[in-house]
Structures are given as structure tokens and as C-alpha cells.
Chains A and B, each alone.
Chain A
């Protein structure tokens, strides 16, 4: 490896010292970016665990002086908060159930079968992403009044399913693609019908991936505020409740609210951390 081969000039390779400096700089950048993400989460946690009486002391200490759950309990006991909390949990669970029940069969079909219209269907699903899906809430609110499901859990869940479905189809198809089709065929030669082969062989293998997709669907629904605030009035989900209370609520109520909304998100991302790249990365492919 000396001089120029094929007329291409070969400059020197980077020296060991340059490499170590480069590595050091990479670590430095990695730490700074991590702090940018983590410090605000730490700060809202400190704010949420500060007693209400201390909420307006200034300047505040970054290291918590008095830790107390008083502010969080005040928020949870505020009128309507617990009800809207459970509503949010239910909406998210129904969304998860519906989008898996409707989306997973489609995902399986495009993963396993070669059929006319497969490419067209994929294109339809992919193109839904070119639309701002949350704005569907405005025409749906009009339709829901006709159907008598305005201001209901199921109405919000339908909307959230529309939000999550394209994602569920693409994810589940990538999950099923990764389960070897030969295993299913082997089960069929051993006497299973296609349905049995699917339930006994493919489904158990696909389960972890499906679970990760389901959990992410849950968080999509848990996080939505725009559609929920449009589709509900007297029965808001948690984010809708917090948003409408924002202007007349004291600042410590907001901090506790922000923290309570944040916790499930952090847990969910932790639980599905191994699948993150598979979940989102493959959506592109």
C-alpha cells in the first residue's frame, strides 16, 4: 500500500494520535447530546417532586432540597384528572387492540403472499404518511355527531386507530418477514392446516416483535392531544384535560402533569429499546 495505484494519489493514513483525538471528540459529542436529552427530564422530575410551597422560590436549586410527592398527589387529586387518566388508558388499549386486529392480518398478507395488487396496497399504506393524519379529527367530529359517538372513548379510539394503522401494517409485515416461511411450510407438511401452522409456529416466533409494535401503538394513542381535544368535551383524555386546564392552572400543576405524562413514555421506550431500529428503521424499506 505505497505510492499511487491506478493513478489515484494515496495520501498517508490517519495516524494513531489523530485517531485517539477523533475518538475523544466523538465521546465528548456523545455525552453532550445525551445531556441535552437527559437534563430536561431530570429538571422536570425535580420540579414535580418539589413541594408546592417551594414552587415559586427563586433562584431554584438544581439539586433537590426537599423531595415530596405532595405536588404530584395534588395534581392526581385535582378534579377530573383520575377519570381522564383512566379514559386515556382505555382509549390506548382499544386502539392497540383494533389496530393489531385489523393491521396484523394485512401485515401478514403482504409479508407472506405474492398476489396481484400487493405493490399497490403497500403504496396506499405508505402514501397515508404524506397526509397530516391528526387533522382528520375535524371532519370526524362532524361525522361522530351524526353517529352519536361524539365525546366517547370509542370515537377517540377509532381516530387513533386511523393514526396507528398504517404503522401497524408496515411493522407487522416486517415482523412476519423475519419469521422463516419454511417453518410454517414444514408444519403444513406435518399435517397442520394453514391456520394451525400460523398459530402454532409463526405466531409464537413473531410475538416479541408484535408486542413491541403493540406497545408503540399504545404510546401513539397515549400521546395524542390534538384529536382528543377536538373529539371530546366533557369526557377528555388526560392530555386533552391537561391542555384545556393549562391556562388556568398553577405552574406546579403543570409540572406534575408533564411528569405524569412523561413516565409511561420513558418506560415504553425502555421496554422496546431492542426493537427501535427494527420498528422505525424498516418502515423506510
Chain B
């Protein structure tokens, strides 16, 4: 049968490959050709230079990198705690997983608005703090004057929204660790912390690597959470790409921003592959 239908798998793959060529590979290449063109279509560095000289460029780059560096360790710590809790098989195991996975379906924009309701001047955080008698008048959390506070608001919202995906990958990784390993460590009197450090973390390396790559790439595209919480108070790379594409209507500079996000993503992927090698490299 296999020889008779030797062409079958290829026929099944062709539509997906064709689609990816038209709607994935072509636009990826096009992002760069657009970025290296002037508005008339001739090759030029003008659009890239315009991006580099743009007043918001430095802020956008620094803020995006700062968000990546601040958010990801927090998300990994939270995700690890959630995954270990689920693996500990408490009562209502399914319920814990469902609650921790809830934000998986929540959009960036909705998450941003949820946290606006908390951080806004007459919002929940000030109301609760005042109710507890900790403050006597509302604090302004979201102000362009205090960018660090503003970044922290975004970090908290992102930690809330995008930790689930890491948690799910880590839970799946934890479940593939043979229970005998942990039991053996237990028998030898290892403390919980020792079991995590000596058994769980090394065995979880492939999952950690995948989660790190996936999450970092998504973090470089952070957009709607920032717009919802900070408005024009914070610039990020994806926000600048959108501003140049829709408000200023210059696809070339927008493409330059897109190209930069792409380059940063690829560099971070390569870095994680080199810095965190796993034995099953090709599976990642």
C-alpha cells in the first residue's frame, strides 16, 4: 500500500507549504526589501536611517528590551511555581490547572484594560489601599512622568497575562520526568529545594529552552498591553511599527521596525540555542 500511495503524503503537505510560501515566507522577505527602499521603490538606506534618527526610536528599543528583561524572569518564576503545584497533585488538580491556564485565552488588549481598571487613578488599587488606610489620597500609577512606575504596571499586567503558556509547557515537561527519579531523591533525604535543583531543573531543560524561546519572541512583539496601560507614555518597537504603518502611512519605516523585531527575535533564539544546549537539540 505504501508504494501505491507514495505520493499521498506529499499531496497532503502541498496546500500548507503553498500557503506558508505566499503568506509567510514572501512577506518575511518583503519586510526587508520594503525597509531598504525609499518611497519610490529604489534601493536606499533612507528608511532605516529615518527609523534610527526618529525621536521615539531609542525609547522604543530601550523600553522593549527592558520589558523583555524584567518580565521573563518573573514569568518563569511564577510558571515554575504553578507547574510544581500542579505536579504536586493537590486536591482538585484539574481546577488549579484551569485557573492557572485561564489567561492563555485572554488577549493582550483585554489584559491591558483589566489592569487599567486596577491602576487607574480612581481604580481598584487606590481604592483598596485607601480602604485599608495605607494612603490618604490616590496615587498616580500611570503617568508618563514616572516611566519606571509605568513600566512596572506593564510588567505586572504581562506577568498576569502571559505566564500560562510557560506554565503549560513546564507542566508537560514535568509529567515526562519519571516519578522514580523524584522518589529516589526523596529516599536519599533530598529537601524539596534539592530535588528541584538537582533533578527537576536538569530534566526540564528542553522544555525550559522551548518556553524561553517562544516567550522571548512574543515579548519582543509586546504592543496592546502597553498601549492600553501607558497610552503614548511608553514607546515600544511594535507600537512604533504600527504608528508608522497606520498614522504616518509610511510602510518603509514600519517595515524597518518589523525587520528589527525579526532580527532581535532570531538573535535571541540563536543565543538560547547556544547558551542552553540540550541533548535533543533538533526537537526544540
User: Are B102 and A41 touching (Cβ within 8 A)?
Assistant: yes
Please indicate the chain B residues that have their CB under 8 angstroms from the CB of A14 in the complex.
186, 189, 191
* Residue B63 is within 8 A (CB to CB) of chain A in the complex: no
State the CA gap A235–B231 with chains docked (Å).
23
How far is the CB of B27 from the nearest CB of chain A, in Å? 4
Determine the chain A residues whose CB is within 8 A of the CB of B242 once the complex forms.
Answer: 226, 229-230
Contacting chain A: which of B50-58, B146-154, B171-179? B171-179
* A102-B138 in contact (CB<8A): no
The reply to whether A162 and B19 contact each other, CB–CB distance below 8 Å, is: yes
Question: In the complex, A47 Cα to B120 Cα: how many Å?
Answer: 12
B98 touches A226 (CB 8 A): no
Cβ contact of B15, chosen from A26, A102, A265, cutoff 8 A: A102
As a 0/1 sequence over residues 221 to 242 of chain A, the CB contacts with chain B under 8 angstroms (1 = contact) are 0111110011001000001001
Q: A102-146, CB under 8 A of B: which get 1 and which 0?
A: 110110111011110110010110101111111111111111000
Known A135-B261, A138-B255, A246-B227; judge A58-B127 contact (CB<8 A).
Answer: yes
A152 smallest CB distance to B (angstroms): 15
The residue from B8, B169, B187, B224 contacting A243, defined by CB atoms under 8 A apart:
B224
Q: Are A105 and B15 in contact, CB atoms less than 8 angstroms apart?
A: yes
Q: Does B59 contact A (CB under 8 A)?
A: no
B interface, over-half SS: helix
In the complex, are the beta carbons of A135 and B110 less than 8 A apart?
A: no
Using a Cβ–Cβ cut-off of 8 Å, how many residues does chain A contribute to the interface with B? 110
A43 adjacent to B117 (CB under 8 Å): yes
A66 on the interface (CB 8 Å rule)?
A: no
Tell whether, in the assembled complex, residue A33 and residue B107 are in contact, meaning their CB atoms are under 8 Å apart: no
5 contacts between A and B (CB under 8 A): A30-B90, A58-B122, A126-B284, A138-B254, A142-B30
B contact residues vs A (CB 8 Å cutoff) = 1-2, 5-6, 8-10, 12-13, 15-17, 19-20, 23-24, 26-28, 30-31, 34, 78, 81-82, 85, 88, 90, 94, 96-110, 112-118, 120, 122-124, 126-128, 130-131, 138, 160, 165, 168-169, 171-173, 175, 186-189, 191-192, 206-207, 210, 213-214, 217-218, 220-221, 223-224, 227-228, 231, 238, 241-242, 245-246, 251, 254-255, 258, 261-262, 265-266, 269, 282-284
List chain A positions with a Cβ less than 8 A from chain B: 1, 8, 10-14, 22, 26-27, 29-30, 33-34, 36-38, 40-41, 43-44, 47, 56-62, 101-103, 105-106, 108-110, 112-115, 117-118, 121, 123-124, 126, 128-143, 158-159, 161-162, 165-166, 169, 188, 194, 216, 219, 222-226, 229-230, 233, 239, 242-243, 246-247, 251, 254-255, 257-258, 261-262, 264-266, 268-270, 273-274, 276-277, 280-285
